[in-house]
Structure 1
Amino acid sequence: MATSRPHRLVGFLESRKNLTGSACGLAGVVLTLTGLAGPYWPVVVAGLYGAGALLAPPERPAPPDFPDPSAQLEEVRGDFGRLRGYLADVELPPAAEERLAGLTGLLAGLLEPGWVAEVLAADPEGLHAVSRAVRQDVPEAVDAYVRTRWWTRLTPGQEPPEAHLERQLALLRGEAERLADRLRDAEARRQESHTRYLEDRSEH
């Protein structure tokens, strides 16, 4: 508490209200020295200071500095590289391996540096979906399979864990494909809009 008081005092002294009020109060001192304020100069100086403090714009705290979409995309790309390193050390059944390869190939295409990634970076929902798949959904699906497979070996007869893994990977692949379709449709609409613009311009 003791250390916060000096900070508050310094903050007030540097505030817009105090600086504006001080400037107006200084004008009151000038009026006093020129004899225009008369015997009521303390009231004039205090009044001008208060008026200046009231007229000063309020202090505005700086908004949080969040990373821009391109920086977020670069972070996701780095996490995707770490995910691929993790997946390379996991042994999966052939069917699940094939589905995983299709999913990671699609994610790699979306994250590949270039204009496609720029389109993804401009789509907050799409970038969130890819980030969630890379950082949560895929590693969780694979890790759950590895853990469950060990228990299944102790208690055989249960539903094979690879069946769940294959379904999960198929669902994630479907989400990634729908995202790619949506981004493609956005580019197609952009192309169509440019065609209409050129057609309208040629008619005038």
Structure 2
Amino acid sequence: MATSDRTSNPVLRYLESRKNLAGSAAGLAGLVLTFTGLAGAYWPVVIAGLYGAGALIAPPDLPPVPPFPDPEEELDALRENFATLRTYLAEVDLPPAAAGRLTELDGVVEALLDPRWVADVLKQDPESVHTLSRAVRQDIPEAVDAFVRTRWWNRVAPGAEPPERHLERQLNALHQKMTTIAGELRDAESRRQQAHTIFTEDDL
């Protein structure tokens, strides 16, 4: 609590700042000049001027960078979310076509979240991690939840377009996104292999 009070008080923050420390050091030099008689009758102006000059040239204090999780921690959390999503999906009754597409999608996501060497490749691509994270945490559960709710209303008031069609389209689009990520990671590994081939052949 005491540390928080210091950081929230502008006066205390300035007293601990680099500018004040540099200005104080320069002001001490002014005192030395005063005691040696070099400052003369204008010693207050000399001390104040040296303090101001020291404070002016000192670099500003920078706020600390917030500690965001590293990619490996993000993937670990995403795997836990994926396990939770699977538990939810296991309780939902889906039509055969949508269930089949969801199974295929589940397999691709599982492969992308493999904690072994696949993770080493994936975490080098923050955009793919973001897309995968959105699919697990938002797109898939929202697609299924919207289907379940719409299906209930369709049963109460039939006549609208079957909700499973939208679900299948959404799962198809998500499956395409996941397979695109897998393809891009495959291409990245292929390029790395080709670059190593060129490197080793150049050494011959």
- Superposition pairs of residues 48-67 of structure 1, within 5 angstroms: 48-67=50-69
Confirm or deny that 1:98 pairs with 2:100. yes
CA shift digits 1:29-85 (9 cap, x unpaired): 111112222222112111111111111112222223222211211121111111001
- Superposition pairs of residues 61-140 of structure 1, within 5 angstroms: 61-140=63-142
Question: Would you say the 8 A contact 2:34–2:40 is kept in 1?
Answer: yes
Runs of 4+ in 1 over 6 A off after TM superposition: 3-6
Stretches of structure 1 lacking an aligned partner (at least 5 in a row): none
- Superposition pairs of residues 1-204 of structure 1, within 5 angstroms: 7-202=9-204
Stretches of structure 2 lacking an aligned partner (at least 5 in a row): none
TM-score (norm 2): 0.92
Write the distance in 2 (CA, Å) between the matches of 1:172 and 1:100. 9
CA RMSD of aligned residues (A): 1.7
Change (3 A) 1:6 1:93: closer
SS in 1 for 2:175: helix
Task: Give the AA of the match of 2:173.
Answer: L
Write the distance in 1 (CA, Å) between the matches of 2:32 and 2:164. 86
Deviates more, 1:69-78 or 1:177-186: 69-78
Deviation at 1:5, TM superposition (A): 11
Deviation at 1:183, TM superposition (A): 0.5
TM-score (norm 1): 0.92
Change (3 A) 1:100 1:16: same
Change (3 A) 1:6 1:149: closer
Deviation at 1:188, TM superposition (A): 0.2
Write the distance in 2 (CA, Å) between the matches of 1:75 and 1:167. 28
Q: Across the two proteins, how many residue pairs are aligned to each other?
A: 200
Write the distance in 2 (CA, Å) between the matches of 1:61 and 1:41. 36
Deviation at 1:168, TM superposition (A): 1.4
Q: Percent identity?
A: 61
